[in-house]
Amino acid sequence: MEKLKQAVKEIAYYRHQAKFSKLHLSLIPFLSLSSSLYGALLYTRQSLYRSGFFSKNRLPVPVISVGNLTWGGNGKTPMAEFIAKRLADYGISPLILTRGYAGGDEAKMLKRHLLGGPVKVGVGANRVATANLFFEKYGYVDYRGSKFFERTYLDPKMGSHVGSQKIGAAVLDDGMQVLEQKLKDIKLVLQEIKESLPIFYTRMTPSYFFELRNISTKMHLGAVLDAVVLCVSAIGSPDAFVRAMEKIGPLFVDRFDFSDHYSFQLKDIHMMRERLRQLEDKFGYKPIVIVTEKDYDRDPEILKHLHPFKVLVLCSEMQIIPCNGCNEDSFKSLLKELLEV
């Protein structure tokens, strides 16, 4: 099953059929048919909502939906966190709503990052029901069009006295997904909808490591300079993770990739340990295991079985890349406009 999942992911990411094996080629007709059926069902569902056959649920606060226009692993959860933090900076207590898919690794990561702050994290497949539970517990306030919101937005220092427990906005993590297209094609499609639509480019930038057995530590990225590392990940885009590690400057980078949200088993740990021993024999000193925060939060305990090899967790942050006048300041301004509508 894991091999099949990996093949599907490779088909989604790599469109050059010259690189495909017989397994890849045999899956393409089935995936094409499944895609067409899914598109038809999605269109039918949307039509039923538009006709009023299905009722729409509206929350009493503004909702920001974070999805992606490509295959998974493109930073939906970090973007949801990024938006929530920006709202909190200006005195609005936001609620992030996430499904908690496949063990809830992303939800655990969000809770660890946001612990003790004004941002709340609700986990559940029925996000309307989850939101209502939080509204009953904390209450809510609608800042749209109010002078109160204007003051808190323009003066972040005022956030301290307005940062109540009442929820002022909801952020949907993984609110929507569609089929993959090239970046330039996506931009053209969006501009056909609205030519003046602002388009922001983001990147996940490595910031520091922490040790598996001491999560309070913050280690400089230079800790792996000239080291031999084994990148182990079960995320949507492992190539980006490995490339980020290569740019930091280790002596050698090896990798183990698993399907997104995969939970490591003891058999996988044994396989990793064997690879680590091979690397140690080849280079003459112990390699370092690098995992992502999602992999850590999915199951921190099983990774401890890699002892005596050191395990470091790579922490990254989302940054907006200034492009065509769109930067972090204009992104904040756009949030303000959206919440006032």
**Tens of pLDDT, residues 19-57:** 677 777 777 788 888 888 888 888 888 888 788 887 777
Number of H helices, E strands in the chain: 13, 10
For the stretch 83-107, pLDDT in tens is 999 889 878 899 999 887 656 788 8
d(CA 5, CA 13): 13
Q: What is the pLDDT of residue 14?
A: 61
76-89 and 328-340 helices, crossing angle to 10°: 80
> Tokens 């057995």 appear where?
213
pTM to 2 decimal places: 0.72
For residues 245 and 319, what is the distance between their CA atoms, to the nearest angstrom? 17
Residue 98 exposed, middle or buried by CB count within 10 Å (0-12, 13-18, 19+): buried
Cα–Cα distance for residue pair 318/203, rounded to 1 Å: 6
pLDDT score, position 65: 87
CATH topology for the 63-200+323-340 domain? Rossmann fold (3.40.50)
Query: Which tokens go with 250?
Result: 């280790």
What is the per-residue pLDDT across 235-254, written as a single tens digit (0 to 9) for each? Answer: 888 888 999 999 999 999 99
For residue 154, the model assigns a pLDDT of 39
Whether 223 and 247 have beta carbons less than 8 Å apart is answered as no
CATH class of 203-318: alpha beta
What does pLDDT average to in each consecutive run of 10 residues of the chain (341 residues)?
Answer: 68 60 78 84 83 81 80 76 89 88 78 89 88 91 58 42 73 64 70 81 90 90 94 88 93 92 92 96 95 92 94 92 86 82 63
- Peptide bond before residue 118 is cis, with ω within 30 degrees of 0: no
The per-residue pLDDT for 151 is: 41
Residue type at position 311: V
Residues 6+ apart with CB under 8 A from 128: 57, 59
Give pLDDT, residue 144: 63
pLDDT at 179: 44
Q: What is the pLDDT of residue 242?
A: 93
Look at residue 201 in the predicted model and tell me its pLDDT: 82
* CA distances, 284 to each of 92, 141, 276, 279, 287 (Å): 54, 61, 11, 8, 9
